[in-house]
Structure 1
C-alpha cells in the first residue's frame, strides 16, 4: 500500500492520529470490532489499558492474517464506554499503540458509547486497511 498521511497546518497538530490518509492499493480489508476477548470468548483485563492492548492485538492479528501490517491501516475507530477514563490513560494508550503498531498513525476517532456487546468490555476497536 501507498499511504500518504496528511496533516494540514491549518488544523490542530495531531497526536496519535493523522487528519487524513490517502491510501492506494489493490485490496481493502475491513476489520471487525475487537474487544479484549481471549480465545475462549472471555473478556480479559480489568482496566482500560489492559483491554485496549488486548483489543489492538486482536485487530492486528486479524490484519496480519489477511496479509497486512500496521502500516496498512487507513482508519481505526475506538469505541469507549468511558471517554473520561480513555482521556486519563491516553499517554499509556499511546505507548501501547506505538509498541504494537508503530508510528504510522491511521485516521482515527474515539467515540463514547453506553455499552458494548459484552458488558465487561470497556473498549472496542475496528477499522480498515488498504493492502498493496
Structure 2
C-alpha cells in the first residue's frame, strides 16, 4: 500500500491538512460520526469535546475495518458554528494529533445549519485506503 501526500510549492503551505493524497489499496468509506456514545447519546457540551468523541468514533470504525489513522486520505468536518470551531482550532488540532497523528489527509470544513442529532456540534466523515489483502 502506498499513500503519498502532495503539497505543491505553488499553493499555500497547509496547516493541519494535505492539499492532495494519492493512494493505492482497498478503499474504506467511513460514515459521518458525531459525538454519540454507545447508548446513542451525544456526549460533550463543547465543540472540542464533541470533536474528540466524533473523531474517536471514526477511528474506531476505521480500525475495525483493518485501517490505521495514517491511512486516512480525506476527511470532511461538518460544523454547526464555524466561529466557535475556528476559535477552538488550536485545541481541536491537539486532539487530532493525539488521536490521529501528524500524517494529515486532504481535509475540508463545511459550515452547516444543523446535523442529524440536534445536539451535535460537529460530524466527521472520511475515506481511507488500506493494504490489499
Instruction: Give the TM-score normalised by structure 2.
Output: 0.97
Size of the alignment, in residue pairs?
A: 131
C-alpha separation between the residues in 1 aligned to 2:103 and 2:2?
Answer: 12
What is the deviation of 1:49? 0.1
C-alpha separation between the residues in 2 aligned to 1:82 and 1:14?
Answer: 22
Runs ≥4 residues deviating over 2 A? none
1:16 corresponding residue in structure 2: 16
Unaligned runs of 5+ in 1: none
Aligned-residue RMSD, C-alpha? 0.5
Unaligned runs of 5+ in 2: none
Counterparts of 1:36-55 in structure 2 under 5 Å?
Answer: 36-55=35-54
How big is each residue's C-alpha offset from its partner over 1:76-100, in whole Å with a ceiling of 9 and x where there is no partner? 0000001111110111111000000
C-alpha separation between the residues in 1 aligned to 2:97 and 2:50?
Answer: 16
Instruction: Give the TM-score normalised by structure 1.
Output: 0.98
